[in-house]
């Protein structure tokens, strides 16, 4: 068992050699599919694993004559291997809503790789060590548990996200009107393009672009980041991790708002409905690459640093055409 605390490094011990492996890959990518097929065959021949894939990826594997197991159950998966960019890993995490997430090993084969730490070249060596030792180093990344409630307090939708929950005005031209409650106490009303509720991991994603704080992934907190608020006093906040945030669309609101988790499909939230956000009891165990010696404080925000290049800045009082 692992501690549910956010971010600290843990050693995950498998009760047995991982047998059921879920491969999540970029869809419609021949290169990633070819690597996935090689990996699937290697896992089957070397360690007698059962390799499972999503039904959306079956056509890619069938086209290359690669046999994989089709139906899969959350509780039977021992290990997840994500082949793509960070979006692929975020999607892999979202597939485990009601149960603890198994360790996820992110392999860099996409356009953005901040969460993913492994290259394709070191994949087989790393997996061989994992299978032989029956353990791996993981970093616990907190997730948010999001629920949409209707008029009768009935749950209409729920899901998890690793980066952020976004509530915005969608296709409407008008601003979204939202009433905010924290731990069931009224906090504020806001008119804005929307609102981002983010994790520390998501603090360097959409929340940062909207002016939110960049937070170390080891800090237990929830980020509250308005999107273009129509108020001088409505600022981004960093809230304790044990709070529950409720966002209600007023009964007399002109329009619905739209909710998305980690940029996936949108869900409409009607006037009178509300959204509840809280830290999930099931974080995401991110498989760490122990061959990379990076200080975690630097690693937490290095992908989005704005570094000034002296060669481009020039000298303010140096030689110039004006002084020639």
Question: For residue 294, what are its two tokens?
Answer: 């990076």
Alpha-carbon span 252 to 246, nearest angstrom? 18
Task: Provide the 3-class DSSP secondary structure of residue 38.
Answer: helix
Of the candidates 178, 170, 167, the residue with the CA atom closest to the CA atom of residue 144? 167
Alpha-carbon span 190 to 170, nearest angstrom? 16
- For residues 301 and 307, the answer to whether their CB atoms sit within 8 Å is no
Of the candidates 133, 277, 142, the residue with the CA atom closest to the CA atom of residue 200? 142
Q: Which helix (H) or strand (E) holds 62?
A: helix 58-63
Of the candidates 262, 53, 56, the residue with the CA atom closest to the CA atom of residue 160? 262
**Choice among 48, 60, 78, 86 that is catalytic:** 86
What's the DSSP call for residue 69? B
Of the candidates 264, 208, 205, the residue with the CA atom closest to the CA atom of residue 236? 208
Other CB atoms within 10 A of residue 174 CB? 11
CA end-to-end distance (rounded Å), the chain: 71
What's the DSSP call for residue 57? G
β 185-198/221-229 pair status = antiparallel
Of the candidates 160, 193, 169, 122, the residue with the CA atom closest to the CA atom of residue 279? 160
Alpha-carbon span 122 to 136, nearest angstrom? 15
Question: For residue 230, what are its two tokens?
Answer: 């129509």
Alpha-carbon span 158 to 97, nearest angstrom? 8
Question: For residue 192, what are its two tokens?
Answer: 């804005």
Q: Is 121 a catalytic residue?
A: no
**Which positions are catalytic?**
86
């Amino acid at each position: 068992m692992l501690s549910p605390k956010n971010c600290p490094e843990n050693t995950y011990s498998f009760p047995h050699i991982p047998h059921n492996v879920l491969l999540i890959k970029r869809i419609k990518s021949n290169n990633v599919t070819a690597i996935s097929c090689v990996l699937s065959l290697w896992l089957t021949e070397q360690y007698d694993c059962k390799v499972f894939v999503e039904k959306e990826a079956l056509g890619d594997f069938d086209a290359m004559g690669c046999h994989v197991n089709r139906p899969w159950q959350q509780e039977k998966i021992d290990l997840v291997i994500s082949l793509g960019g960070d979006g692929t890993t975020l999607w892999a995490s979202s597939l485990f809503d009601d149960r603890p997430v198994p360790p996820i090993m992110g392999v860099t084969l996409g356009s953005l790789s901040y969460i993913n730490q492994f290259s394709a070249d070191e994949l087989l060596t790393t997996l061989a060590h994992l299978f032989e030792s029956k353990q791996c180093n993981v970093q616990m990344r907190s997730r948010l548990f999001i629920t949409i409630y209707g008029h009768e307090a009935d749950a209409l939708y729920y899901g998890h996200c690793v980066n952020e929950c976004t509530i915005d005005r969608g296709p409407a031209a008008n601003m979204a009107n939202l009433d905010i409650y924290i731990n069931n106490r009224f906090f504020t009303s806001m008119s804005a393009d929307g609102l981002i509720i983010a994790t520390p991991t998501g603090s360097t994603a959409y929340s940062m672009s909207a002016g939110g704080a960049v937070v170390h992934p080891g800090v237990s907190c929830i980020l509250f980041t308005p999107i273009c608020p129509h108020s001088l006093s409505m600022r981004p906040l960093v809230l304790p991790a044990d709070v529950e945030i409720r966002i209600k669309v007023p009964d007399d609101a002109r329009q619905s708002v739209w909710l998305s988790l980690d940029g996936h499909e949108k869900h409409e939230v009607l006037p009178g409905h509300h959204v509840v956000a809280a830290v999930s009891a099931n974080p995401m165990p991110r498989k760490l690459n122990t061959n990379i010696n990076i200080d975690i404080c630097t690693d937490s925000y290095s992908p989005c640093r704005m570094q000034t290049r002296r060669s481009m800045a020039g000298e303010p009082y140096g030689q110039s055409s004006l002084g020639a």
